[in-house]
Structure 1
């Protein structure tokens, strides 16, 4: 059986050397990088270099995101390691006068990124987290790292008020956790019961990406 480490990192959009912005997009359960390729067409912002990891078996971890950590191992640990390895390489490229790097996750991908961002606090240029929150069964607190990378960064979260998979209270706790690390945090809540990205959210995401693109 393939592991996350053996899956391809898919490129879409602008060439890295020509990009105005780099987006690292992490798909949800049952999805693939094609989810973000389709979403990029809906967003319609030129000059974005999309880097899209692939989950083995179309799932980053087997259980629900609020289950105990050990019930989602070893896949969860492998997924976090893949994110760390790929994202640090992108951030190293940015340090060589590359384009800004923003992370973007949906559903299970948003949960994975929320967990990674809050615990590691890498110096990304921004984050979009749609329908996801940090992992584990109980509320948690997060201490700022010695060199906090999220301070002053724009973190935007989105969620439906009646999403069937992600309870709104965990998304609110996640937004508060980012605020506690001095990130500039925005939470948009939709009166909805569907697990999807609305056209209003697409418009907000489009504006966010345009603001963060250089030039």
Structure 2
């Protein structure tokens, strides 16, 4: 199994689990700092570490073949964390995915490839992965799983059109989508996003 940092409540004592996925060049340890801002006191936290601190080498909208090998490995790493939670007796509807940037893209992609009733998906600046979105590769039903995507309207790495396409496809798969889009050009997590998520997804 790949490196998996555990934090928060011991998983044997927790009813809810959050799988946190870091951004490019960051680490599992760094994404765990979100526990200082999000209402996750009752959660067990699982943070997988990407090989070389990167989930895939190129843009999430690069030609599919360029990211394919690394992306497949990264999706397997996320699945290991998910299956670890399941084996601890946690139900899928009590498992949340939370990611930033590359980690947000990976969160959305993994959830869409395994669509089912989840606790929620929180994507801080991200969209689904691929040169073009191909709805045929996804199946399943989110059964009203809440999915949040927050981003700048002009983020340098994540085009607004891909966020819109992702939201539309996820909604077609049965998710309840909320997008919060901002006028600034910052590649960051904003307090407004934290506040919305805490109020609506992690009350």
- Secondary structure of 1:117's aligned partner: helix
The one of 70, 81, 89 aligned to 1:75: 70
Partner of residue 192, structure 1: 184
1:151-166 equivalent positions in 2, closer than 5 A = 151-166=143-158
1:39-50 equivalent positions in 2, closer than 5 A = 39-50=34-45
- Secondary structure of 1:172's aligned partner: helix
- Tell me the number of residue pairs that the alignment of Structure 1 and Structure 2 aligns: 203
Cα–Cα, structure 1 residues 155 and 142, in superposed 2: closer, same or farther, change >3 Å?
farther
Q: Deviations over 1:132-186 (max 9, x none)?
A: 11111123324773xx341211111111111111111101111101110111111
- Secondary structure of 2:187's aligned partner: coil
Partner of residue 115, structure 1: 109
Point out where structure 1 has 5 or more consecutive residues left out of the alignment: none
- Secondary structure of 2:133's aligned partner: coil
> Do residues 167 (structure 1) and 162 (structure 2) align?
no
> Do residues 139 (structure 1) and 139 (structure 2) align?
no
- Secondary structure of 1:74's aligned partner: helix
Cα–Cα, structure 1 residues 113 and 98, in superposed 2: closer, same or farther, change >3 Å?
closer
> Do residues 93 (structure 1) and 88 (structure 2) align?
yes
RMSD of aligned residue pairs (Cα, Å):
2.1
Cα–Cα, structure 1 residues 93 and 149, in superposed 2: closer, same or farther, change >3 Å?
farther
Q: CA deviation at 1:111?
A: 1.0
- Secondary structure of 1:43's aligned partner: coil
Q: Residues 143 and 181 of structure 1 are in contact (CA less than 8 Å); yes or no, is this contact kept in structure 2?
A: no
Point out where structure 2 has 5 or more consecutive residues left out of the alignment: none
Q: Residues 93 and 119 of structure 2 are in contact (CA less than 8 Å); yes or no, is this contact kept in structure 1?
A: no
